[in-house]
Amino acid sequence: MKNIVILISGRGSNMQALLEARLPCNIAAVISNRADAEGLNIAQAHGIHTAVIAHRDYADRGSFDAALAKTIDRYNPDIVVLAGFMRILTPGFVEHYRGRLINIHPSLLPAYSGLDTHARALHDGVKIHGCTVHFVTADLDHGPIIIQAAVPVARDDTEQTLAARVLREEHRIYPQAVRWLCTDQIELGGQGRVILKCRKQIGTALISPGLE
């Protein structure tokens, strides 16, 4: 059974979705860069080990990432899961966990990498938005894509209503991605693309607004 370490910075709703998904893995620890992260209490309630590595205690990103990696490695992780971990990681840290580090991002990458994804999508008038689970590389928010979910953008959407709709899909696809990794159903192909073994693609299209 694979060991999973989850990194959070706040409430940890995606972390909670993973904890409640009964995944075929051992969630060895939840680690935060903030001692006041609400998700730490949720993890402890599930009997999960927790730790805090406060980024403000370190002079630079490199020293923080080194301390973080040292703590993570105590749990011998097969997969490191970023679940609302609001720190940009150094290339050395990313390389240390190459092929084992995944993230969820609130957009249909490669569109809208970075912050404020929902506001930017509304500003641009896109009709379909969504979320992406991907492997983390040194190229921020541009690692190989594992799974995506798309949602229609409603005419009266606000940033908050669109974010809530996307978050519901995040809670569905992140556990699925981790489940595939735990059961070795994913591999990275030679072109840096994710190959999902023995699974057919669904042919249904999402069209927004709908056709008459």
Residues labelled as active-site residues? 105
- Cβ neighbours around 203 below 10 Å, total: 5
β pairing state of 101-105 and 128-135: antiparallel
Quick one: which of 97, 89, 91, 103 has its CA closest to 55? Answer: 89
Q: How far apart are CA 201 and CA 160, in angstroms?
A: 31
From the list 8, 48, 47, 17, the residue with the least C-alpha distance to 176 is: 17
Three-class DSSP category at 8: strand
How far apart CA 128 and CA 149 sit, in angstroms, is: 10
Q: Give Cα separations from 112 to 132, 190, 194 (angstroms).
A: 11, 26, 20
Contact assessment for residue 201 and residue 142, using Cβ atoms and an 8 Å cutoff? no
- Amino acid identity of residue 45, one-letter, is A
Q: Is 43 helix (H, G, I), strand (E, B) or coil?
A: helix
Amino acid at 167: L
